Amino acid sequence: MKIQIINGPNLNLLGVREKSIYGSADFNTYFNTLKERYPDHELTYFQSNKEGELIDKLHEIGFDYDGIVLNAGAYTHTSIAIADAIAAITTPVIEVHISNVYRRESFRHKSMLAANCKGVIAGFGLDSYRLALENFINL
Ligand code: DQA
């Protein structure tokens, strides 16, 4: 299967930013462990801090890949444009969050994206990505 992981703003700083919330592992190391664990699947990774680049990536792969695991960071809570992009493509998207957003500030309780996604996984640390990935792989 072809699965794309997409990380949005500030997630390039995983392992550096707010470690008590997001942990001390950097994403590239974690991504390599996922690739080693699932050698029979084509896993790719993209990160951008720019809303338009995230939308361009969804358009680029969203009619071809089997699944998209998306952590849109704070754009989750604000971006109608990313919600529209998810609705426009045919590849199913799973929304993920490292932290349990429902235990945090109330502005993080609202997702603009969730209604257009296959499902949402939040609060399992980096393991949230694996859980989403396995949903696609085990289909
Ligand atoms: C996050 C939660 C968001 O509220 C926050 O803006 C992030 C990361 C998470 O993975 O827990 O940047 O998506």
pLDDT digits (tens, 9 = 90+) for 51-99: 999 999 999 999 999 999 999 999 999 999 999 999 999 999 999 999 9
CA of 114 to the centre of ligand 1 (A): 14
The model's confidence at residue 25, banded by pLDDT at 50, 70 and 90, is confident
Write out pLDDT tens, residues 116-130. Answer: 999 999 999 999 999
Nearest in space to 11 (alpha carbons), one of 20, 127, 25: 25
End-to-end Cα separation, the chain, in angstroms: 10
Provide the pLDDT for residue 84.
Answer: 98
Structural domains in the chain plus CATH codes: 2-137 (3.40.50.9100)
Q: 130 C-alpha to center of ligand 1: Å?
A: 17
What is this structure's pTM? 0.97
> How many whole angstroms separate alpha carbon 108 and alpha carbon 137?
29
What pLDDT score does 93 carry?
99
Q: Cα(40)–Cα(17) distance, rounded to whole angstroms?
A: 32
- 97 CB within 6 A, ligand 1: yes
Extract the tokens encoding 63: 């009619």
E-strand stretches of 34-134: 42-47, 67-71, 93-97, 119-122
Does 20 have pLDDT greater than 80? yes
Average pLDDT estimate for 4-29 = 93
Catalytic residue among 22, 30, 75, 129: 22
